[in-house]
Amino acid sequence: MSFKTQPPSPATAILTFPSPHVLLVTLNRPRDLNCINGQGHADLHAVWEWLDEEPSLRVGILTGKGRAFCAGADLKEWNNRTSDSNSSTSSTPQPPSGFGGLSRRKGRKPVICAVNGLCLGGGTEMIVNADIVIASSRALFALPEVKRGVVALAGALPRLVRTIGKQRAMEMALTGRMVGAEEAERWGLVNFVVGVGEKDSEEVVGEAVVSRALRVAEEIAGNSPDSVLVSREGIKLGWEGIGAEEASAMLSETWVRRLYEGENIKEGLRAFVEKRKPAWVSSKL
């Protein structure tokens, strides 16, 4: 693919482009179960910023290499920082966008999490704030921070309750227990579960869940880029706790006029009348 902006070169992840307009980010610390260190947070923040800024990209996918999606923070690094600091609460610095640049990210373009395996601590904090979550049937989710004397402070706690309800959120946060993919789907934490065999290799499992995520990403990328951005903004306003009428007014005042003045709405209507597939242009919103 050709880009108008220069892609970042993360040290802790691999960037690939499996389909037009789709960015695939693969966490690449399999021996460490893809736990994210300070460098990783900075890397991923830069990647998601680039996704938003690059006109040719419309959707991002995040997955992990090996048997884990992300096992959370690099506790060895955290322990070293705590030992070397006068403050017992010292932790690995994170960007304003949170853990992995995703747990508190607002952003403009959607990100899908393709959870291939273990999704613990910060891994779960990332998927809570993702737009869509697809998991293999082997995936396990947990907030085990209470078992290590720390707290999930990257944004998941107040967001989790909006997705799965108070009692289930309390159960995850206070017990730290593992939640399987099918249970997470019933709770509404996961959109789709991809069934895999017990003897399937880690590579096969990863390919299966990414393939399912890619189909969803391609469906999103095939829609009007303007409409996707504005629709996502509308959902985010409700997610952030703004009332329905106030959020609708804000969406209309901030985005709808720009949407109506853009080329994609004209192209979409023309394509409908002419019974053809729309030829979308990069969003200028």
Q: Decide: 77 and 29 in contact? Cβ < 8 Å.
A: no
* Residue count (the chain): 285
Quick check: is 202 catalytic?
Answer: no
DSSP type of residue 66: S
Catalytic residue among 54, 135, 145, 156: 145
DSSP type of residue 85: S
CA 76 from chain centre, in angstroms, equals 25
* Joined tokens for residue 164: 């799965």
The rounded distance, in Å, linking the Cα atoms of 185 and 274 is: 40
Q: How far is CA 87 from CA 72, 95, 153, 253, in A?
A: 21, 20, 17, 46
Catalytic residue among 101, 107, 122, 206: 122
Give per-residue burial for 17-27: e unless 16+ CB within 10 Å, then b.
eeeebbbbbbb
Q: Decide: 130 and 163 in contact? Cβ < 8 Å.
A: no
What are the φ/ψ torsions at residue 112 (nearest 5 degrees)? Answer: -105, 135
* Joined tokens for residue 114: 């393709």
Catalytic residue among 42, 71, 73, 247: 73
* Joined tokens for residue 92: 């690995």
- Which residues, in sequence order, are CB contacts of 158 under 8 Å at separation 6+? none
The neighbouring-strand residues paired with 14 are 26
Quick check: is 73 catalytic?
Answer: yes
Catalytic residue among 114, 125, 173, 247: 125
> Other C-beta atoms within 10 Å of 247: how many?
19
| Catalytic residue IDs | 73, 122, 125, 145
